[in-house]
A and B are shown apart, each in its own frame.
Chain A
């Protein structure tokens, strides 16, 4: 009787899990095998694929002239967006945690950029960065400074896009805010009683207790920013001089616009491995600095 009930329970569980499992299987696992297969071919998408063995992988690591610059550009962008984005989101969350008038309004204002469609954001920021008529150069001119070719110069293109990305971190702000509000007041009061100041509260209570949230946000930010696409597609098209030729944009261009699906499948496998390794590294390192209450 009991075993029949537990069998029914097990079957019911699998039935409810089936959509998720099937989705994962057909939309994630099988396509990865498909991509692995395509990576071993030369395929233009217009005719049948031909066997290439490991040629595409050899090309990536020897003669491909875009892979190296693309990896460099992507890492540079991701590093800037993750580090500065995390610091910015944390700082804003700390400010929004204070008891200030119209706190709710400020929280909404800082969250709004996150829900603006990314293409719209990119187009408008592109106009603002425009060197002849953009608003940033207008203000620089007003204070007597020279115009800057924000998106036309190798050195400023990616930092300009990083600033645009940081503007949109409303989701991380909200998550940090939730984490901050979960920090028990008793610990903060204990620091006060022991004669500590705001810095001691931050360093010895807030930061350690927030470390899991910081880790989560950093992890999400790394994964999202390594997959940057919209700014490259809608504003810079990989320029100037490939400094914004981010990986996912390169994959899109080489596959759908240059008909090189085999090579792009190889790119994506290499990229997938690299991001997986980076994620594993992050998890590994996190043990040394994240503190989970109850440990």
Chain B
């Protein structure tokens, strides 16, 4: 009787313990940033709550940090051995963290036939250390009404018909107007009082080098082992870009452009007829002015020799210090799944990362055939096909320390944009520093 009672109590206790253990979820932390206000993180929290409530094995706690202090926060946490399990990463941070041995290899996060596009994989020493959270490509946006008023054909919406640089400049000249309605082709054109700029080819630090690749040059080779920036093709491309303002008089100065408002307002107010920027503009800015009458189109970038664009997308990463790598990868896999980010994808902010969303027209229409995106026929050729066949990676996918590289590249670059130095003189002046930095950081 006593033995039976003792056995019963032991069995019951064991059952309770087992139940307790199995009821205990694996706790992981996920760090992300918000751009302006902490309330932005609430939408992320809502998605995380959905994950937490949808299963009982993993519980995720969010750490939301302002974008501005993100790198500082991550570095401080690393120094204090307090890194979260997984995180959103800026593109420029990813390879640097991998090189420091802080990021876990995540090549086993996805089954081989169901992985994100190869172009969206951050690799270090041949191994995947992060996948972009979305696909973004650089595109040419334009104000249709200005083109109609000037009786000009719209910029081409497919790479095989991409404008040459000269065609782009000619169109921009016809669209540039001073306060008297004159274009740069007209005598008496007043370059100090331009009311509408024909073109703005984005000179943002990581965007503008695409012109070098388009001209057969580039910043560095795709394997990150050879510097290409001092090739004549690269220098020529940089000068042509600067000449949009300096000689062709179709672009605002770099300082004026920095002071312009968001793309939708810039196009809507006729400040600029054509502008290059990322796919995200459709969901982040252009959709805001549709109700005010913005009628925009999207085309491919003008080419110098090769029709090419950049693709990019901030990655998710898993830190090596995590004690729950499987749980962290499970969460990231779920979080990155397009169906869990659907409003951002159909809302025009992101493009999908998994190949299956590009495999058939039906699949593409499911996420792309929605406002605020332009009509599907145009979007398919100008954006989807362009991204699939003509996009190259921004060097931060494979180069360790791209931000430091750019510190040197951009240190005096405004003197090129403002005409104080030629592109050749400028690149010659920074080459020793650039080469030294490149050699210290390049892939071995």
A residues at B contact (CB < 8 Å): 44-47, 63, 65-66, 69, 130-133, 146, 149, 152-153, 239-242, 255-260
How many Å lie between the Cα of A48 and that of B8 in the bound state?
54
A66 touches B411 (CB 8 A): yes
Interface code B249-269, partner A: CB below 8 Å = 1, 0 otherwise? 000011110111000000000
What are 21 sample pairs from A and B whose C-beta atoms fall under 8 A apart? Answer: A44-B96, A45-B75, A46-B79, A47-B101, A47-B102, A65-B408, A66-B411, A69-B411, A131-B259, A132-B260, A152-B255, A152-B259, A153-B255, A241-B411, A241-B412, A241-B414, A257-B72, A257-B403, A258-B407, A259-B75, A259-B100
Chain B residue nearest to A44 in the complex (CB): B100
> Residue of B at shortest CB range from A132?
B259
B72 touches A256 (CB 8 A): yes
Q: Mark B421-439, 1 if CB is under 8 A from A, else 0.
A: 0000000001001001000
Asked if B2 CB lies within 8 Å of chain A CBs, one says no
Residues of B within 8 A of A259 (CB): 75, 96, 100
Kindly state the interface size class of chain B when it binds its partner: 20 to 34
Q: Which residue of B lies closest to A234 (CB)?
A: B68
Give A132 to B258 CA distance when docked, in angstroms: 10
* A257 touching B71 in the complex, CB below 8 Å, given contacts A45-B78, A65-B433: yes
B236-257 contact mask (Cβ, 8 Å, vs A): 1 or 0:
0000000000000000011110
Query: Which 4 pairs of residues, A with B, have the shortest CB-CB distance?
Result: A152-B255, A46-B100, A256-B72, A149-B255
A107 to B436, CA, bound (A): 56
Contacting pair B254 A152 (CB below 8 A): yes
Tell me, yes or no, whether B4 is within 8 Å of chain A by CB.
no
Residue of B nearest to A252 (CB): B72
Q: Measured between C-beta atoms, what is the minimum distance from A233 to chain B in Å?
A: 9
Q: B259: which of A130, A153, A256 is its contact (CB, 8 Å)?
A: A130
Residues in B neighbouring A131, C-beta threshold 8 A: 255-256, 259
Chain B residues lying within 8 Å of A258, measured Cβ to Cβ, are: 401, 403-404, 407
Specify the chain A residue showing the minimal Cβ separation from B437: A65
| Chain B 368-403 residues near chain A, CB threshold 8 A | 401, 403
User: Is the CB of B415 closer than 8 A to any CB of chain A?
Assistant: yes
Task: Establish whether residues A239 and B414, one from each chain, have CB atoms under 8 Å apart when the complex forms.
Answer: yes
Q: Which residues of chain A are within 8 angstroms of B96 by Cβ–Cβ distance?
A: 44, 46, 259
For A47, list chain B residues within 8 Å (CB). 100-102
Q: Which residues of A contact B258 (CB under 8 A)?
A: 152
Q: Any chain A CB within 8 A of the CB of B97?
A: yes
Cα(A82)–Cα(B226), bound, Å: 48
In the assembled complex, the CB of A71 is this many whole angstroms from the nearest CB of chain B, namely: 15
Would you call B75 and A240 a contact (CB within 8 A)? no
A-contacting residues, B40-73, CB 8 Å: 71-72
In whole Å, how far is A289's beta carbon from the nearest beta carbon of chain B? 40
Smallest CB–CB gap between B181 and chain A, Å?
21
Minimum CB–CB distance from A119 to chain B (whole Å) comes to 11
Question: What's the minimum C-beta distance from A206 to chain B, rounded to whole angstroms?
Answer: 45
Residues of B within 8 A of A149 (CB): 253, 255-256
Once bound together, how far apart are the Cα atoms of A272 and B443, in whole Å? 36
Q: Contacts A241-B412, A241-B415, A259-B96 given; indicate if A63 touches B436 (C-beta within 8 A).
A: yes
The chain A residue sitting closest to B434, CB to CB, is A65
Q: Which residue of A lies closest to B415 (CB)?
A: A241
Contacts of A257 in B (CB 8 A): 71-72, 403
B192 interfacial contact with A, CB 8 Å: yes
Complex Cα spacing A240 to B256, Å: 13
How many angstroms from the CA of A89 to the CA of B29 in the assembled complex? 52
Contact status B433-A63, CB under 8 Å? yes
B72–A46 CB distance below 8 A: no
Closest Cβ of chain A: how far from B222's Cβ, in Å? 24
B97 and chain A: residue at smallest CB distance? A46
